[in-house]
Amino acid sequence: MFILSSSPLTTTFFTSTTTATTTPKARVSFSFSVRFCTRRQPFPSLFHSFKASATAEMLQDKESSSSSSPAPPPAATTSSGDTSKDSRTFLNATTEQELLAGITKEREAGRLPSSVASGMEELYHNYKNAVFQSGNPRADEIVLSNMAIAFDRMFYDVEDPFVFEPFHEALREPFDYYMFGQNYIRPLVDYRNSYVGNISLFYEMEEKLQQGHNIVLMSNHQTEADPAIIALLLEATNPRIAENMTYVAGDRVLIDPLCKPFSIGRNLICVYSKKHLTDIPELVEMKRKANTRSLKEMALRLRGGSQLIWIAPSGGRDRPYPHTEDWYPAPFDTSSVDNMRRLVEHSGTPGHIYPMALLCHNIMPPPPQVEKEIGEKRVISFHGVGLSVSPGISFSDIATACENPEEQAKDLYTQAVYNVVMEQYNVLKSAIHAKQGLEASTPSVSLSQPWN
């Protein structure tokens, strides 16, 4: 699982565009600044107004966000404090040729592993093709700006790897990794064909969070970009939810060099996925102990209240059915659902579990099969996406109706949550893939486009 703003120096950043296929104008204020690892100051002076604008949005000190003339970003330094000329390899590129030549330069210098360099080149071309699908007249600028910053962050982490704690709080300064992820995925979303189901429930969640309640979203999981997709669809109406959500994240998005920079920008509870727990037999015990630490961290945070946690009980991303190529939410694991439910119920704080459906696999589908190796191919497209949430389901009501609640209730509750997710998913599928739009709404799933 990946499971993803200040005044510009000279021009506005690309998030405000003019074509019909592009995104809404979103400007949100942010509050997080805590981090668990000291990193060197990123970003030297930049090369032209468009990229300078993009970087300034993510670099400006939060305390000076109200100023119309922010101070220029600091020069990049190494961990020892020395200015790093190498960190400017990608940020100084003014053309596609220079950007790709930077990959070759760092690979030949031995500073960039060949496998990572090949992945970066492939990612560039796939991202470029997807952004150009949008028809945005500034697509070339968007691609160059976003990919230069992405390459810089990837290279930066290869040189100075970030280490995630069991709980990781989004790194927002001196470089704003959250906005980096938002701005990178934003051009891939076709907002004309995107929808949110039951938006009123997100307002209900905000009220409960303000009262100190805990909220858990049990969702299917489709792409590494899921956190960014969720946040992009909610940032216009529920920015606090968009920013403050904590994602239960598998270890692969914490170690893949092309994925790590996006993970750094999200609040994460880091775990080892069941699907990869036994990939390396000698590490199984270490992984289990690490998961126990993460579970304790989650329990501690739930006891404090006002937590908003997203979890995919399937243990991984959805895949298409082999024979039909149709995409549907993967079945939920009963033990994962029950463990989360018991954590919420035993926290000593009121808690609520909402079933959530997410449809976004077209943006960045996973490989057809689960892969053990790190470094999957990133296929990227411009497409409509959707999410929907439904009212919570009472475990006690289900248990009361069971003849043998100790044995049956867990399975029945898991299936009930999954069925609601599937129901919402089918509505989103009708709206987006069958082109029914808002008319796909049902009595239980009311679709809207809250950015309009």
DSSP 103-124: HHHHHHTTSS-HHHHHHHHHHH
Q: How many C-beta atoms surround the C-beta of residue 124 within 10 A?
A: 21
pLDDT tens column, 319-357: 888 888 899 999 999 999 999 999 999 999 999 999 999
Length in residues, the chain: 452
Q: Please tell me the predicted confidence (pLDDT) of residue 282.
A: 78
CA-wise closest residue to 30 among 179, 232, 140, 156: 179
User: Cα separations (Å) of 384 from 11, 189, 198, 426?
Assistant: 28, 6, 18, 15
Q: Please tell me the predicted confidence (pLDDT) of residue 405.
A: 75
- Contact indicator for 151, 86 with CB cutoff of 8 Å: no
The one-letter amino acid code at 35 reads: R
Helices 96-108/114-133 angle, 10° precision: 170
Q: Please tell me the predicted confidence (pLDDT) of residue 378.
A: 80
Q: Please tell me the predicted confidence (pLDDT) of residue 369.
A: 57
Q: How many C-beta atoms surround the C-beta of residue 280 within 10 A?
A: 11
SS3 353: strand
Q: For the residues 74-102, what does the mean pLDDT come to?
A: 67
DSSP 281: G
CA-wise closest residue to 299 among 233, 239, 241, 346: 346
> Cα(27)–Cα(179) distance, rounded to whole angstroms?
10
Question: Confidence class of residue 141 from pLDDT cuts 50, 70 and 90?
Answer: very high
Distance of alpha carbon 95 from its chain centroid, rounded?
Answer: 28
Q: Please tell me the predicted confidence (pLDDT) of residue 395.
A: 92
Question: Confidence class of residue 88 from pLDDT cuts 50, 70 and 90?
Answer: confident
Query: What does the block give as tokens for 136?
Result: 């945005």
- Contact indicator for 177, 274 with CB cutoff of 8 Å: no
- Contact indicator for 21, 192 with CB cutoff of 8 Å: yes
User: Cα separations (Å) of 264 from 67, 152, 181, 182?
Assistant: 27, 14, 9, 12
Is 328 exposed, middle or buried, given 0-12, 13-18 or 19+ CB atoms closer than 10 A? middle
- Per 3-state DSSP, the chain is made up of helix, strand and coil in percentages (nearest 5) of 45, 10, 45
DSSP class per residue in 65-97: TT-SSPPPPPPPB-TTS-B-SGGGTTTT--SHH
Q: For the residues 14-41, what does the mean pLDDT come to?
A: 36
> Cα(270)–Cα(290) distance, rounded to whole angstroms?
9
Catalytic residue among 61, 86, 140, 160: 160
Report the C-alpha dihedral over residues 444, 445, 450, 452, rounded to 10 degrees: -110
The region, left, alpha or beta by phi > 0 then psi within -120 to 50, assigned to residue 304 is alpha
- The stretches of 220-358 forming alpha helices (DSSP H) are 226-234, 239-244, 252-255, 260-264, 284-304, 334-345
Round the CA-based radius of gyration of the chain to a whole number and report it. 22
Peptide bond into 174 cis (omega under 30): yes
> Cα(433)–Cα(429) distance, rounded to whole angstroms?
5
pLDDT tens column, 154-179: 999 999 999 898 899 999 999 999 99
Residue 419 phi/psi, 5-degree rounding, is -60, -40
With 60 as the cut, is the pLDDT of residue 40 above it? no
Q: Please tell me the predicted confidence (pLDDT) of residue 427.
A: 98
Q: Please tell me the predicted confidence (pLDDT) of residue 315.
A: 85
Q: Please tell me the predicted confidence (pLDDT) of residue 322.
A: 80
Mean pLDDT of all residues belonging to the chain: 81
Residue 218's H or E segment, with its range, is: strand 214-219
Q: Please tell me the predicted confidence (pLDDT) of residue 372.
A: 54
pLDDT tens column, 255-313: 889 999 999 999 999 887 666 566 678 777 877 887 788 889 899 999 999 999 999 99
Helices 114-133/139-159 angle, 10° precision: 160
Question: Confidence class of residue 442 from pLDDT cuts 50, 70 and 90?
Answer: very high
326 is catalytic: no
CA-wise closest residue to 355 among 433, 413, 440, 438: 413
